[in-house]
Amino acid sequence: MGFFEPCFAGLEQESGFYFNMKHFEDLVQGGEWDELERYLSGFTKLEDNRYSMKIFFEIRKQKYLEALDRHDRAKAVEILVKDLKVLASFNEELFKEIT
């Protein structure tokens, strides 16, 4: 989680809301990716900045990899097309950089 901690500290300062790192970690460890995105959306949006985009990308990438690991190719393709490809529309250069 070390990569994300500075991002969350900034979000707390900017928003005035407390970011519950324990809750975040529990969601990550439980693989609750949709709930994790909903929680993060209370602090930042995908299109807010490159750090937000990177966080959302990593969540969606993990969701995709877990679908592949379960041999659920249909779900993996859906995530790739619906969740990951949409990132390119916000910032194609950054999308290429993070993929």
pLDDT, residue 54, reads 84
Structure tokens at 83: 């969740």
pLDDT, residue 7, reads 66
pLDDT, residue 4, reads 62
Mean pLDDT calculated for residue range 73-86: 85
pLDDT, residue 27, reads 96
The pTM of the full predicted model, rounded to 2 decimals, is 0.72
Mean pLDDT calculated for residue range 12-25: 77
Cα–Cα distance list, 28 to 40, 73, 74, 82 (Å):
12, 22, 23, 21
pLDDT, residue 95, reads 59
Give the residue among 75, 78, 81, 79 at the shortest CA–CA distance from 59.
79
- pLDDT tens-digit profile of 19-74? 788 999 999 999 999 999 999 998 888 888 888 888 888 898 899 899 999 999 99
Burial of 1 (0-12, 13-18, 19+ CB in 10 A): exposed
